[in-house]
Amino acid sequence: MSESMENSRPRARTREGRVVSTAMDKTAVVAVKRRVKHSRYHKFV
């Protein structure tokens, strides 16, 4: 295979959020709001 086929990975999804906590050394807790339509009840959750 060519090199372009081996290295072609789907791009990671970029999300926006608000930083909730940075109390730990290597971790940041981020709140991400997402509105998804429920499949049965057709309401946004």
Q: How far is CA 14 from CA 10, 17, 30, 31, 45, in A?
A: 12, 10, 13, 14, 20
Q: Which residue has the higher pLDDT, 44 or 5?
A: 44
Give dist(CA 2, CA 30) in Å, integer: 39
Please indicate, yes or no, if residue 24 is contained in any of the structural domains.
yes
pLDDT value of residue 33? 87
Q: What is the tens place of the pLDDT at every residue in 17-44?
A: 999 999 989 999 999 988 899 999 988 8
pLDDT at 45: 79
- pLDDT score, position 31: 92
Our count of domains for the chain comes to 1
Distance (Å, whole) CA 44 – CA 15: 18
pTM for the predicted model, two decimal places: 0.48
Domain that holds residue 24: 15-45
Asked whether residue 5 is assigned to any structural domain, the reply reads no
pLDDT of residue 5: 60
